Structure 1
Amino acid sequence: MNDYVVEAKSVEKTLGRGAGEVQALRGIDLALRRGELTLLMGPSGSGKTTLLLVLGCMLTPSSGSVTVCGTPIADADKEALARIRREHIGFVFQSYHLFPTLTATQNVQLALDIRGEHGRRAAQKSQEALAMVGLEQKVNSLPGGLSGGEQQRVAIARALVANPSVVLADEPTGALDGKNGQSIMRILADTAHDRERAVLVVTHDPRVVPYADRIVEIEDGLIVQERTDRPRMPTAVPFRA
């Protein structure tokens, strides 16, 4: 089994046209490995989110190549890209994107609905995913009755329920206080280490650095540094609600 789940080689991405044209990525080489949590860090406008969207097959590169689980995306049409996302990629965003009229279970189950999984088994899998992030007591709660940290854990459960190969998280702690942010990072670290998934977290929050296995720094669309020498968190007690 190839340890590399997603590989980008010489990726460039130009956004806009004419006078508004911006070269957001300038020849990126990056591989995401199974069992590893990678932080992608850089200032605002550095290309972090653009790279995440390219790796997640939401944007196609202007040049270069991206491979997801051995499948090159260069010649994939919209339907094929959607299938790759469904089968291999889980997304987590800063804004939780939960439907306010649906319970936690129903919000998670949406990720199975688009894969054609319905009914009692899908509901059970959704509740199991919620239990995995410490929300077994909140399966019937509406988003309005959950804290920000709990809502983000619902979003993570939704990203994990279909057993993706890679989880891509864009500023997942950005709207959270320190305690909730640490809880979210523990879950994402466990997702990488215990379940052998690749996890990429885009962030500018230095508080999350101790949870990373690898730190990639990006500036002006270029990777300027990659390192693994960072402070480690003490052995964490598994988070519970």
Structure 2
Amino acid sequence: MNEIIIEATAIKKTLGRGAGEVKALRGIDLTLRRGEFTLLMGPSGSGKTTLLLVLGCMLAPSSGTLTVCGTPTSGVDKEGLARIRRDHIGFVFQSYHLFPTLTAAQNVQLALDIRHERGRKAGKRAREALNLVGLEQKADTLPGELSGGEQQRVAIARAFVANPSVILADEPTAALDGNNGRSIMRILADAAHQRERAVLVVTHDPRVIPFADRIVEIEDGLLVDTGSGEPERLHLPKAAAFRP
């Protein structure tokens, strides 16, 4: 069985206080393994993004245990959590988070800058990452001159460039049409299957199901189903699927 990259046990997370308190996660057990492409699916407000942020060490759980690449996160200070993120985790977000005045290559290289990797070697690595997502020819292009799908691929290249053990992607196809969504999912699936990364994609889009090795459904902060299946079995709306 493939190596466990992230292991979450009995994870709970409460947001807000008093009358505004929300139990966002209510006891989550989940493992992410090297070479496996996992979908975390569920409706808006079900706890998907909160769980991704906890797994990515960006949000501390209220209780439970989280281990990333063999390192327990309990009691680790902010600097230690930042090192875990820097060394092991790549993030992809729906809104791209690209700097408009930097070229595609410069945006990718930012992920190396925080690791104090700079100069020609870092520039070469940034271009190699863009090549992995089919955008090497757009390396010197500003984000405003790229399509939405191209901007998302730049964001994925930025997540890839430091060779993380796990990729966590939050709704990466939400703003994309069918062709661009399919392209993004192929890239993420290749990261798992060809480059041996653990990949978790958070989504409520059933079109991505054909790419998954494993599907986890979350509802009201609880995992209610795991495995593989069709939208009907997962209680999700029907839609034309992206095909691998």
TM range (shorter): over 0.9
TM-score normalised to the size of structure 1? 0.95
Spell out, residue by residue over 1:70-104, the C-alpha distance to the aligned partner (whole angstroms, 9 max, x if none).
00001100000000000000000000000000000
Aligned-pair identity (%): 77
Q: How far apart are the structure 1 equivalents of 2:136 and 2:128?
A: 8
Partners of 1:70 and 1:136 in 2: how far apart?
Answer: 34
Which secondary structure does the structure 2 equivalent of 1:95 belong to? coil
8 Å contact from structure 2 (residues 88, 164) kept in 1: yes
Q: Corresponding residue for 1:83?
A: 83
Unaligned runs of 5+ residues in structure 1 are 237-241
Q: How do 1:38-53 and structure 2 match up within 5 A?
A: 38-53=38-53
The letter for the 2-side match of 1:139 is: A
TM-superposed CA distance for 1:228, in Å, is 2.2
Deviations 1:150-175 (A, max 9, x none): 00000000000000000000000001
Aligned match of 2:9: 9
Q: Aligned residue for 2:26? A: 26
Secondary structure at the residue paired with 1:82?
Answer: helix
Q: Is the 8 A contact 2:104 2:141 kept in 1?
A: yes
Taking the aligned partners of 1:180 and 1:3, their CA distance within structure 2 comes to 31
Match of 2:130 in 1: 130
1:136 deviation in Å? Answer: 1.3
Is 1:228 the counterpart of 2:228? The answer is: yes
Please give the secondary structure, in 1, of the residue aligned with 2:115.
coil
Inter-partner Cα distance in structure 2 for 1:3 and 1:24: 28
Identify the residue that residue 107 of structure 1 maps to in structure 2: 107
Q: TM-score, structure 2 length as denominator? A: 0.94
State the shift of 1:227 in Å.
1.1
Alignment of 1:174-193 (within 5 A): 174-193=174-193
Match of 1:239 in 2: none
Superposed displacement of residue 233, structure 1: 7.2
Contact 2:12–2:61 (CA<8 Å) still a contact in 1?
Answer: yes
Distance 1:200 1:230 in 2: 18
Considering only aligned residues, what root-mean-square deviation do their CA atoms show, in Å?
Answer: 1.4
Give, in angstroms, the shift of residue 2 of structure 1.
Answer: 6.4
Which segment is superposed worse, 224-233 or 8-17?
Answer: 224-233
Question: In 2, Cα distance between the equivalents of 1:120 and 1:25?
Answer: 44
Q: What's 1:170 paired with? A: 170
Structure-2 residue corresponding to 1:58: 58
User: Structure 1: how far apart are the matches of 2:186 and 2:105?
Assistant: 22
